[in-house]
Structure 1
Amino acid sequence: MAIRNIRIMGDPILEKVCKEVKEVTPRIKELIEDMLETMYDANGVGLAAPQVGVLKRIVVIDVTGEDPIVLINPRILETSGEQTGGEGCLSLPGKSGTVTRPNYVKVKAYDRDMKPFEIEGTELLARAFCHEIDHLDGHMYVEKVEGELTDVEEVEE
């Protein structure tokens, strides 16, 4: 496993639509492990493959720090409700903005063995699903920000 470099806003790869994964090869498995390690190292709750320079429809999310979710070829099936709150992105460090997203999201995806499954999320998990799946279509949260981006103060440990 390895920590990969996170692409920063302005990198053209972040504006491209990602390709579907046809099969989970050893390289894809390595990518998923690297994405998880990179996300945890950066203290993120989600990471999409294009953020590490790979144009594949793969997302990793962990809103609790203990329960990683791997989504291959994810598709949003259903949304409801609304939530407005602060959002940030590992590809735009030090900034956050207010974004309105659905409060409930149901996603269909494939797991690491290419078995289909559905997963539901509310609040932060719903927000993470939408945010990361947007990355797979070449979109970033800044396109949806209401008002101005604000600077995030780094919390020293």
Structure 2
Amino acid sequence: MAIRDIRLFGDPVLKSRSVEIVDIDDAVRALVRDLLDTVEPAGRAGVAAPQIGVGLRAFSYNIDGDIGYVLNPRLVEVRGEVEPVDEGCLSVPGLWHPALRHPWARVEGIDLEGEPVVLEGEGLLAQALQHECDHLDGTLYLDRLDPERRRLAMREVRESDWF
């Protein structure tokens, strides 16, 4: 169990589609422990496996102190018109921009026992579900910005001290 380093914008794992988990083995159980440890610090709403360098379909979440995980999550339903929501990302530290998100979302997946997991809700939970599922498809929130805002964000990335 460990808090893992977060991969930053520019790391190829963040732009790659993650692979579905077929066998729940000791490596997957260790991944879940690391995801849970890594999402626990204050200010973290979610961590996807690619953000810690693992190209598997899994993420953890921490919404209002409710901490959990989902394996093989699928965004199965969204509701409401997309709207700009201020968003940041651990893989793009220090930047906040309005990404287009639906106000409600539902994700289905499984747990370590292979049992169904359903997460659904609005507000920060809906935003986190969409954000983390995007990570598993190789999409960063910067990709969801309008073109003008994206140009500004990319300039901020290039000028950042971490890039």
TM-score by length of 2: 0.85
Distance, in Å, in 2 between the alignment partners of 1:45 and 1:30 is 20
Distance, in Å, in 1 between the alignment partners of 2:64 and 2:26 is 27
AA aligned opposite 2:6: I
Distance, in Å, in 2 between the alignment partners of 1:124 and 1:43 is 12
Structure 1's unaligned 5+ residue stretches are 152-157
Q: Which residue in the other structure is 1:62 paired with?
A: 62
Map 1:41-120 onto structure 2 (within 5 A). 41=41, 43-65=43-65, 67-82=66-81, 83-120=83-120
AA aligned opposite 2:31: L
Distance, in Å, in 1 between the alignment partners of 2:76 and 2:35 is 24
Question: How far does the alpha carbon of each residue in 1:105-153 deviate from its partner, in whole angstroms, 9 at most, with x for none?
Answer: 11111112111232211111000000000000101000112424498xx
| CA-atom RMSD in angstroms | 1.7
User: Closer, same or farther in 2 for the Cα pair 1:42/1:7, shift >3 Å?
Assistant: farther
Aligned residues: 150
AA aligned opposite 1:27: A
Distance, in Å, in 1 between the alignment partners of 2:10 and 2:134 is 16
- Residue 122 (1) aligns with residue 151 (2): no
Structure 2's unaligned 5+ residue stretches are 157-163
Distance, in Å, in 2 between the alignment partners of 1:28 and 1:98 is 33
Q: Which residue in the other structure is 2:30 paired with?
A: 30
Distance, in Å, in 1 between the alignment partners of 2:8 and 2:42 is 13
TM-score by length of 1: 0.89
Conserved? CA contact 1:23–1:114, under 8 Å: no
Distance, in Å, in 2 between the alignment partners of 1:36 and 1:117 is 16
Partner of 2:23: helix, strand, or coil?
A: coil
